[in-house]
Structure formats: C-alpha cells, structure tokens
A = this chain, B = another copy of it.
Amino acid sequence: MSAKPGTLHLIPVPIAQARPDPVDVGAADGNALRVLPAATLEVARRADYFLAENAKSARAFLKSIGHPKALALLRIEQIGHAPGADRIDAWLAPLEGGKDVAPLDAALLSEAGCPGIADPGADLVARAHERAIPVVSWVGPCSIVLALMASGMNGQQFRFLGYLPQERQALRERLLAVQSDARRGETQIFIETPYRNARLFEAILAVCDPGLRLCLAIDLTGAQSLVQTRTVGQWRALPLSQRPDVDKRATVFLLHGASAPALRH
C-alpha cells in the first residue's frame, strides 16, 4: 500500500417514509433531508463509491438528497443482506488504491437506519480495521435509540437482543428469561419481522407478569409514529379498540421491570 488509505464512511439513512406535508413538524418526519444532519448529508454527497445493502434503495436515497453527480456515474456495489466474507477484500480494495491509482473514500449504506446495527455491514467494518482503513460513523436515525429514549426505561443499562425465537414454546421460555433480566433493572429491547408483530405482542401479554412494563415504539420518525409504555396488566385491561396497531408496522419492543427510577451507578 503506497498512499494513505481512503476512509470508510458509515452513513445512516431514513427509517420511515416522509410525512405527506414536510412543513408540519408536529410529528416526526422520515424524509432524508429532515432526519439527517448537514454533516451526514455532505459526506454522502461527496462520496462516489458506495457499498450498499441494496443498490436500488441506495440510488433512491442518493436521489432524495440531491447527490451532485449523475447516478450512472457513481460506483454502487450491492453487498446484500449477508455480505460474503470472500468478497469483502475486493470491495475494500479501492480504499487502498494502488500503483498509479489514488485511494477512494467509500460510503456504506443500509436499506434503513444505521449500517451494522441490526443490519449487515459489521464484517466489512471489522475487515477495514484489520487493514488499517480509517472508519468514521455519522449521525442519523437509529430505531433502537429513538425507542429507548422515548420509552422512559433504563438507558444506563440496556440490551438489544435482535429477534426472539419463533416457535411457541421456545418463545415462551425466552420471554421468561428476558423478563427476569428486565426485572433486575436492565432494559430489554427486541424486534420482530413486521407481519409477526401482533403475534409477539400477544405472546408478551400472555406470558409476562402484570407488573412488567412493556413499551411499543411504532413507525419511529414516520407519519404515524407512536410510543407508549404501560405495564403488562394495563395493556391487558386496555380495550382492544384502544390498542395501537402493530401489525405489519415497524415496531421496537422494550421490557423493563421497575416502575421506580432507573438504576444508577
């Protein structure tokens, strides 16, 4: 490697559709120009080499932020949902340049939210560190953080579990273990494939103790965004007509044991 390598920039993208009326900020707004800061937008606009989970959504994103170059002139590599370990070095090679070839910067883009968080990209970033390629992460929407902030649960100790098991008995056992951790004061955060959200919500109400707090954080930054925290007992007592609809809507689930103040160190 002759020259100083380029930088791998990690660029978050929106996690929800834009509101119909972008002027009204009474509720959150999923539009890229409204949920990404100036510094993040500038870095995305300056890049011309992209490593994208999905090339089509990356192009739509770059168009929405007014990338100054014609999209056809940008190099966009689709790395997919589970980037092949054997291809990572080839994707990173342009950052190291070569004989008579200047090193490029690259921008890593997810389909939604932050690269590498509940999303592919971590392996690629890990390899960049091994090759001494500088890595810089930029500010943008992260549904886990937006949900935790709005939940009113302990943000001093928390755990993101990803997906819980699907099979009924395994899910039940896992929920009991998660409840036990939540009762010790650590917030437990998990997600589900949107069409299975209603089933997971029912399972929590069926399995967990009435005193446990459950937060549903739905469609964060979107037009119909809603975050509500109640105890399992309160959720059960709520008339069905007043329950928020989680079916096929992006939802983060959070559990926390104590209604008392969060633990502090």
Q: Could you list which residues of chain A lie within 8 angstroms of chain B, going by C-beta atoms? A: 7, 10, 25-29, 33-39, 42-43, 46, 82, 85, 114-119, 121-129, 135-142, 144-163, 186, 213, 215, 220-221, 225, 227-230, 259, 261-262, 264-265
Contacts and interface: CB of A to CB of B under 8 A. Distances in A.
B230 A129 contact: yes
A265 B163 contact: yes
A152 B135 contact: yes
A69 B50 CA distance: 42
30 contacts: A25-B39, A28-B39, A28-B137, A35-B39, A36-B139, A85-B261, A116-B149, A117-B148, A118-B155, A121-B155, A122-B261, A123-B261, A125-B150, A126-B152, A126-B229, A127-B152, A128-B152, A129-B229, A135-B150, A135-B152, A135-B227, A137-B150, A137-B227, A139-B140, A139-B141, A139-B146, A139-B221, A142-B145, A144-B145, A145-B145
Nearest to A82: B264
Nearest to A228: B129
Nearest to A32: B37
A19 B29 CA distance: 28
A145 B139 CA distance: 9
B38 A33 contact: yes
Contacts of A158: 159-160
B37 A149 contact: no
Counting chain B CB atoms within 10 Å of each CB, the highest count among A116, A121, A227, A230 belongs to A116
User: Which of A138, A139, A259 has its CB near the most chain B CB atoms (within 10 A)?
Assistant: A139
Contact of A162 (B117, B136, B156): B156
B36 A265 contact: no
A116 B160 contact: no
A122 B262 contact: yes
A20 to B, nearest CB: 15
